[in-house]
Amino acid sequence: MEKTNKKISVALYLMTAILVITGISVFKDYGVGYDEPAQKITGDINFDYVFHSDTRLLSYENRCYGPAFEILLTAICKTLPEQHTRRDIFLLRHLCTFFVFCIGAVFLYLIVLRQTGNTFWALLSVLFFVFSPRIFAHSFFNSKDIPFMSFFIIGFYSLIRLLENKNAKWILIHSFASGFLMDIRLAGILIVFITSVLFIADSVSRKTHLLNLFALTGLYLALTALITVLFWPALWPSPISSLSAAIRETIHYPWPGKILFMGNYLSAGNLPWYYLPVWIAITTPLSYIILFFCGLPDFAASAVKSPKNRLYAGVLLWFFIPLLSAMFFRPVLYNSWRHFFFIYPSLVIIAVHGARKLYGIRIPNRNIRKILKAIFILIILCSLFHTMLFMYKGHPFEHLYFNFLAGNKCLDYFEGDYWGLSCRQGLEYLIKNGGEGKIIIYAADWPGKFNAYILKTENVKRLHYTENPEEADYIITNNTADIENYPAFKECFSINIRCGKILSVLKKTRD
């Protein structure tokens, strides 16, 4: 047993070290996403309210959105030297967000290890998790959906431990994880629902007295509510009414924009029921999708056959409740499926289960069995290598990954670089090729300005923005369909990936 634990520890430490080193080597390569400056402001305003009694928060338009992780990022950025630049702040934010992603990977490993008791399958789950190009890229610049996903993994792990050991330690840990999760995004209430369902199921199977069930559930809900209010400063003056307002804002989010989906521009509030399934299917490595469907029937059967093992039922609830709810109620959605990244770990867990079942198929002939198992492992490794190769070649635009189901010209049918990260490379091109002195730029959208924040200070000083394209020497746009709107300009630089063009820089050719 001691040798087994030692092997598990070595595998976990080695995996984490490789992941962290990889992140440290590439975190400076990503641009500033569309939402990042607004997220930073949310953290700053909440931090100032807590530590400097600044009342701007009470009238802040985004006070209804969970600020917990942003407050943490602001606090960490406060440790930077006094002479720090905006570039230092955004790079540190990217690195911290990635570290939280790494923590999520560790807890995913622990969940699968607890399920299978096998280090190989636990490591494979981490490989599936990390070699998911879109998820990996978002793990640097997306300080909303990635921390929420990671803390959901942590919350689920603490739930499994609580069901195994119903003691004060794990009630407190799980309550903290649940409350903090809701303080990142209100969708974290799902972990509260899953917890309550599994508490009831566990009590029924164990024939626990109802008073014990009520006491345990009541204590958990009370502690979770306390933690939620504690790490959400906007709730402090009036917790119940403020939380109700936040729930209403979340359910009826007023985003009137249109998005490109399957070749048509559709209202974000009137998307077809299959919006999420399609996005998941075309942006997840196909081998994971196949393994998911191979593993799903047996995984569901295991939830029924092994009622005392609540992990299976919990994972199914984790994946299907959010997905089916969105398909049925059809809330406002946009930016592909990033708001639902938090269900991706459950997809991975089921996919690894599928791999286990295929690997464990019983074949009478021992030699043939060994050959088929070797071929199966080789296929998985080749799939991982293929994904890794895309991530290497496509860096730092892994967030634009599509599998072959999306087609060759998928950017004609689906949203591309809506975060505008490629604007960083456009600005770097202008600094290098825009001549000496001042460079006057018209940014067609906010990322054309925001990405100046992550450039070196001496370079940023040369960039001057105008709100009038007629006054500009250059135009930068991550919406390449805009080019025709500027007849006095000609494209001088662009970024093209396999699926199409994601950025254009235009130079004035006539007044």
pLDDT of residue 307: 60
Query: What is the DSSP annotation of 283-314?
Result: HS-HHHHHHHHHHHHHHHHHHHH-TT-HHHHH
pLDDT of residue 196: 94
How big is the CA angle at 399 (ends 394 and 405), to the nearest 5 degrees?
85
31 secondary structure, DSSP code: -
pLDDT of residue 17: 94
pLDDT-wise least confident of 1-5, 12-16, 106-110, 338-342 = 1-5
Report the pLDDT averaged over residues 470-491: 89
User: Quick one: pLDDT band at residue 7, thresholds 50, 70, 90?
Assistant: low
Report the pLDDT averaged over residues 82-94: 94
CA distance 26 to 49: 34
Cβ contact 70:43 at 8 Å:
yes
pLDDT of residue 222: 96
CA distance 491 to 494: 7
**In this structure, what token pair is assigned to residue 419?**
């975060």
- Check whether 9 has a pLDDT greater than 80: no
pLDDT tens for residues 33-47?
Answer: 999 999 999 999 999
pLDDT of residue 1: 40
pLDDT of residue 5: 56
**In this structure, what token pair is assigned to residue 345?**
């770990």
The larger pLDDT score, comparing residue 253 to residue 223, is at 223
Query: What is the DSSP annotation of 377-430?
Result: HHHHHHHHHHHHHHHHHHTT-GGG---GGG-TTGGGTB---TT-TTHHHHHHHH
258 secondary structure, DSSP code: E
Report the pLDDT averaged over residues 40-61: 95
pLDDT-wise least confident of 2-11, 44-53, 196-205, 339-348 = 2-11
- Check whether 29 has a pLDDT greater than 90: yes
What's the length of the chain? 511
Angle separating helix axes 366-394 and 286-305, nearest 10 degrees: 130
pLDDT of residue 6: 60
Give φ, ψ of 260 to 5 degrees.
-85, 120
pLDDT of residue 255: 75
The larger pLDDT score, comparing residue 252 to residue 474, is at 474
DSSP run (H or E) holding 441: strand 439-443
Q: What does each C-alpha distance from 160 to 194, 249, 310, 444 come to in angstroms? A: 11, 31, 7, 48
Cβ contact 448:476 at 8 Å:
yes
Give the chain's mean pLDDT.
92
pLDDT tens for residues 91-137?
Answer: 999 999 999 999 999 999 999 999 999 999 999 999 999 999 999 99
For 189-193, which contacts have Cβ atoms below 8 Å and span 24 or more sequence positions? 190/152, 190/318, 190/321, 190/322, 191/152, 191/155, 191/156, 191/159, 192/221, 192/224, 193/317, 193/321
**Nearest CA-CA partner of 329 in 253, 391, 392:** 253
The larger pLDDT score, comparing residue 416 to residue 9, is at 416
pTM reported for the whole predicted model? 0.95
